[in-house]
Every structure is written in C-alpha cells, then in structure tokens.
Amino acid sequence: MHSEGNGNSSKMVYVIISVPCVSVGLASIGLYFLIMKARKKKNNANRSALSSLLKRHHSAKLAQTGSAEMEISTVGSIQFDLRTIEAATKNFCIENKIGEGGFGPVYKGVLANGMEVAVKRLSKSSGQGSHEFVNEVILMAKLQHRNLVRMLGFCLEDDEKLLIYDYISNKSLDYFLFDPNRNGPLDWPKRYKIIEGIAKGMLYLHQDSRLRIIHRDLKSSNILLDLEMNAKISDFGIARIFGVDQTQANTKRIVGTYGYMSPEYAVHGHFSVKSDVFAFGVVVLEIITGKKSSSFFDQEDRDDLPHFAWKKWMEGTTMDLMDPTMVETCSDDEAVRCINIGLLCVQEDVDARPSMSYVLNMLNNYSITLPSPKRPPHYLFIRPESYISTCKSVPRSTDESMITTIHPR
C-alpha cells in the first residue's frame, strides 16, 4: 500500500509540473508568432511606404530609370533595420556626431561586422523631404565610381529617414582647405590630385554612367577625402536625372548653394551639365587660392572669387592667387594651367565653358593650347539671398528652404 501511494503521488507531481510547462511553451510559441506577425506587418508597412514614395517620385524620372516596382526591387535589398543603425551609432549619441549638413546631422557608426559607416540622419525640420530622400537612394544605388562616395543602404522606419555611406576618414575638402591650422596636408600634388579626381567623378556623372546626372550642388563641403586624399563627391539629394538626348532643363524651384550657382541657373532657373561645370570651376579656384568664394563678398568692390581671379589673370599677376601654404611644393606651370581651366569653367557664356571630358583632356594633355578665359559673371551681393547678374531677365521664384547661403569666415 505504501509503495502504491508513493507511485500515485509521483504521477500527480508529474501532471502538476507538466501542465504549467505546456502552458508556458504554448504562450511562448504564441508570443513568438505575434512578434513575427508584428515584424512582418512593420516590414510590409515600410515596404509600402517606400513603394508609395517611389511612385510619387517624378514620373519622368521613373520613365527613364524603370518602373516603381523595379526601383523597389533595386533599393529594397539595401534597406537597413533601424535597430541595427541605432546600435551602430550608440543611439545617435553626440560623441558619434561627425558633421552637420543642410539636411541634418551625420554620425559615425560601427556595424556588427566591424565596418565603419557614416549615417546621414535627415532632420524632420530640414528642407529635404521624401522626394529628395528617394532621389538620393535611387541615384546612389545605381552609381558606382571611385570618385563618388559609396552608399551602402538606407533606413525608412518610425519616421526616420537615414542614409548609410562608407565612412570617409578625412572629412570634407573645406575642412582642410579654409582652416590655416589644417591645410598643411594639402600640398600642391595632393590638390592637383583632388582636382583631377573631382573632374573624373563629374565626367562619370555627366557622360560615363548609365544615367546622365546633374549634381546641382557641387561645392567644397560636398567633396570628401579618404586616407589617400582621393576625392569623393557626395550629397545627391537635389541631383537631377537627364534623358539620353536631354541637354538642359528649367525649374522654378531653385536649389543649391549661392556662390557655386551658375548665373543662368541662379537667375533664370536654367540648368545643364554646364551648370555643374561652373561649380567645378569655383571649386578649382578655391583649391588653388585656399579661400572660400564667399570670403570676397565683404570687400569694397564686392568681387566674388571667379571675378577676382579673372582680374588677376588679366593683370598678369596670376601667381598672387596661390595659397601661400603650398608655394614651396607648387608647380607654377600646373597651377597656372589649373587657374586657366577654372576660369574657362566659370565664364558667363554657357557655350564657352568646356565639357568635363575636355577639362580632363586639358589637365592631362599639355599639348593642348588653352584659350584665354572670358569675363565671368559679376554678381553684386547686396544680400545673401540676392543675385544680380549682368544677364537681364526676371528671376524665377526660389525655394529658399532648399538653398544653402554661404557666409564669409
């Protein structure tokens, strides 16, 4: 009797223990499926949001680059999870912030595999909305060149718009160029290499890629430098895709940065590859002089850098333009040739400006005799928002929220 009693008690204990275990197991399974269902719903919502944004993208662009469904397939494979980016940037902590652009802060992050990335976090109050975000994602997913910054992916989740790029260790060109305490590494050979690298990257955008891209905001702060001081063109939020046979376009929504805008774009809203050529010329002159174009705006004669450089050219005092910190390493012939090329790029006459392919030929082929540059546009900067050019036309309306105003240092 005693042994039987013990056996019944043991069975009862087993039953009592088993019931809670089964209940916990079932609850865990149920919770797992609920989590997976919520995650699937969230992913579908993100995909739906991306699809909606892509379909709202300009129909002309989708006609040139493919259907919205094809775009989703292209960019969906590089979509990052928000938690991954939060972990990489330590939840966007201030110590990881490495810059502040016109559209929001940029953070350094380290992915789980140890790869360093730069995360561009679009501010909700910035001028860059869904259109510009999708524009940059689509473009950068299609473009690959050693002189363009490489986009690794993006995140569109919980009202966050994030762009994930290769981390470029040496920051931007302006970081070194306009600070006398930092421009030591920029001797003349490195500056010449940077000029050539920018030219190669722009040629790829204009001619050699499967798309024809007008950058529209080329400037020193959008040129990143890697450890070997190779130039990497960045920030394609306001770039425009051109059709194969398209050479120019008009807009009433003028975006970009004053001081780098061509006169036909700033005043009339006309833009083309030659608008980018104008901005390239300004950057070349900044690289040679070590001065930002805006640093000339407060002078009594109200010259900008292109017009100031052209006057030095006409006076025969071109060497006065050289940044004193690079004089010892400078090749006079190369520097004068680059100034000549820069001034050809900033001519007011659009047709007189060289193409980027010809710019590279002039940089690399000294048998080409360069023409003398004509006068660049003489802007009068009455106030930062105003451009008065020698062109006579009624200015089109501008969207000031999308314009970066440059200020003298």
CA distance 283 to 303: 16
Handedness of CA 31, 33, 34, 39 (dihedral sign): positive
CA distance 305 to 296: 6
Q: Tell which residue, 241, 175, 179, has the closest CA to residue 211.
A: 241
Asked about 159 being catalytic, the answer comes back as no
Angle at 64 (CA atoms; ends 62, 67), nearest 5 degrees = 40
Q: State the helix-helix crossing angle for 273-289 and 332-345, rounded to 10 degrees.
A: 150
Q: Tell which residue, 168, 196, 171, 167, has the closest CA to residue 182.
A: 171
Please answer whether residues 155 and 130 qualify as being in contact, where contact means their C-beta atoms are separated by less than 8 angstroms. no
Determine which one of 174, 179, 217, 304 is catalytic: 217
Handedness of CA 122, 124, 127, 133 (dihedral sign): positive
The C-alpha R_g of the chain, in whole angstroms, comes to 28
DSSP 325: G
Please answer whether residues 284 and 195 qualify as being in contact, where contact means their C-beta atoms are separated by less than 8 angstroms. yes
Tokens linked to 20: 């809670």
User: How far apart, in Å, are the Cα atoms of 277 and each of 2, 146, 284, 364?
Assistant: 100, 20, 10, 17
User: How far apart, in Å, are the Cα atoms of 406 and each of 127, 166, 272, 297, 400?
Assistant: 16, 27, 22, 10, 13
E strand or H helix at 307: helix 305-315
CA distance 202 to 262: 16
- Give me the long-range contacts of 57-66 (CB less than 8 A, separation at least 24): 57/131, 57/134, 57/135, 57/138, 58/131, 61/135, 61/138, 61/241, 64/211, 64/241, 64/243, 65/138, 65/142, 65/211, 65/241
Residue numbers annotated as active site: 217
